[in-house]
Amino acid sequence: MTTETQPLKILTRTRSPFNDIFVIERENLREMWFQGNGRFYLQTRIDLDRPGDLALIYTRLLLAPLIWSPNPSRILMIGLGGGVLPRFLNEVYPDIEIDVVEVDARVTELARRYFGFKESPRLQVFEDDGRAFVKQRGQKYDMVFLDAFKGGSVPYHLKTVEFYREIAQSLNEEGLLATNLYGKNNTLKPRDRKTLEAVFQRVSFFEDAERVATVCVAVLKDEGAALEALWKYISNLPENVQQNLSWLENMDMIESGSLIEPRGSVFKDDFEVSEFFKAVQRNNQDDPFFNHSYPIRNSS
């Protein structure tokens, strides 16, 4: 985790039941990393000179659902990291309610201490597994963000068709899901797409030019908005959101489709309903893809 040109300062290292976590600083950047299987995986980055900006590509891509739903009133985020995206949305949309689910209390603590994350009456963090929360909460949302990682993988029970159906039930009629599918090192994105398309009417992918990051927006009810209309929606978004969306070069994916073609089998639960909580505990605390290879590596 060091380079000759950019020496790193480790601000803290902590192990929780779920993660081996580092917070580091190099020049004007502060970052949270998870270590797993001998590798390091970048989770969060802030620019200390501009801490309110979205410094990582994937966090900017995660603004894409606002194209379809520019005025959400209630949002669910599964996975906190450093809390950069919920803080950004809370500042841009001070009247919306944001529920964040984070299974690892140490991650939440570090987000508060090192990344400026603060809760408020409209921005709350729940210490729970994301799927367990969705099953038990019974709340309806306009938008769900799925960005839960353990090391370099997503716990398997958060990637299955059964879970996506549960998310669909938690959405309002015109609700949508935005999920971080990592980047080009995720070789199973065709299966991800097939799994999402088994539940949602329309699935669109957003990637940066170098395909470092991939975000999927899955729309529950496809109203077939033309590309021109979506650009009009963008022009009505808050200025700070527009600034972060302006560099997107792949809007044509909404109409012409993505290079990611659906193929292979859908991801399905590998446990009985009665064994749900045991499976959740196992996936969150052990290697979540020990029996389900999901090869992704670090990317910036």
Contacts for 10 with CB less than 8 Å, ≥ 6 apart: 1, 22, 23, 24
Is pLDDT at 36 greater than 90 in this prediction? no
Whole-number mean pLDDT of the chain? 85
Is pLDDT at 59 greater than 60 in this prediction? yes
Here the CATH number for the domain that contains residue 142 is 3.40.50.150
Q: Are residues 158 and 189 in the same domain?
A: yes
Task: Assess if residue 266 is contained within a domain.
Answer: no
Structural domain boundaries, residue 40 = 9-47
> Between residues 74 and 295, which one has the greater pLDDT?
74
Q: Are residues 112 and 233 in the same domain?
A: yes
Task: Assess if residue 281 is contained within a domain.
Answer: no
Gyration radius (Cα) of the chain, Å: 18
Q: Are residues 15 and 113 in the same domain?
A: no
Q: Are residues 180 and 73 in the same domain?
A: yes
Q: Are residues 33 and 90 in the same domain?
A: no
Distance, CA of 287 to chain centre: 19
Q: Please, what sign has the CA dihedral across residues 87, 170, 152, 186?
A: negative
**Based on the number of CB atoms within 10 Å of its own CB, is 95 exposed (0-12), middle (13-18) or buried (19 or more)?**
exposed
Burial pattern 201-214, b for ≥16 Cβ within 10 A else e, equals: ebbbbbbbeeebbb
Phi-psi region of 81 (alpha: psi -120 to 50; beta: other; left: phi over 0): left
Is pLDDT at 299 greater than 60 in this prediction? no
Is pLDDT at 144 greater than 90 in this prediction? yes
Q: Are residues 179 and 80 in the same domain?
A: yes
What torsion do the CA atoms of 16, 126, 47, 235 make, to the nearest 10 degrees? 150
Mean pLDDT of 282-288: 71
Global pTM value: 0.88
Contacts for 275 with CB less than 8 Å, ≥ 6 apart: none
Task: Assess if residue 286 is contained within a domain.
Answer: no
State pLDDT tens for residues 162-220.
999 999 999 999 899 999 988 777 788 899 999 999 999 988 888 877 778 889 999 98
Tell me the pLDDT band of 64, cut-offs 50, 70 and 90.
confident
Q: Are residues 117 and 202 in the same domain?
A: yes
pLDDT computed for residue 198 by the predictor: 96
d(CA 109, CA 261): 39
d(CA 211, CA 108): 29
Q: Are residues 231 and 178 in the same domain?
A: yes
| Span between the terminal Cα atoms of the chain, in Å | 13
pLDDT computed for residue 288 by the predictor: 46
State pLDDT tens for residues 206-265.
887 777 888 999 998 876 655 566 667 777 788 888 877 655 555 555 544 567 888 889
Mean pLDDT of 257-277: 85
> Between residues 207 and 16, which one has the greater pLDDT?
16
Task: Assess if residue 284 is contained within a domain.
Answer: no
Q: Are residues 61 and 43 in the same domain?
A: no
Neighbours of 72 (CB within 10 A): 20
At 209, phi and psi to the nearest 5? Answer: -60, -35
HEC letters along 136-160: HHCCCEEEEEECCCECCECCHHHCC
Q: Are residues 149 and 225 in the same domain?
A: yes
Task: Assess if residue 154 is contained within a domain.
Answer: yes
At 221, phi and psi to the nearest 5? Answer: -125, 110
Mean pLDDT of 258-276: 87
Q: Are residues 17 and 114 in the same domain?
A: no
Instruction: Please check whether residue 152 is in contact with residue 35, taking contact to mean a CB–CB distance below 8 angstroms.
Output: no
Pair of tokens at residue 214: 């991939």
d(CA 186, CA 167): 22
Task: Assess if residue 170 is contained within a domain.
Answer: yes
pLDDT computed for residue 291 by the predictor: 44
Mean pLDDT of 103-114: 97
d(CA 137, CA 14): 30
pLDDT computed for residue 292 by the predictor: 43
H or E, element range at 294: none
Looking at the structure of the chain, the number of domains it has is: 2
Q: Are residues 26 and 153 in the same domain?
A: no
Mean pLDDT of 71-83: 96
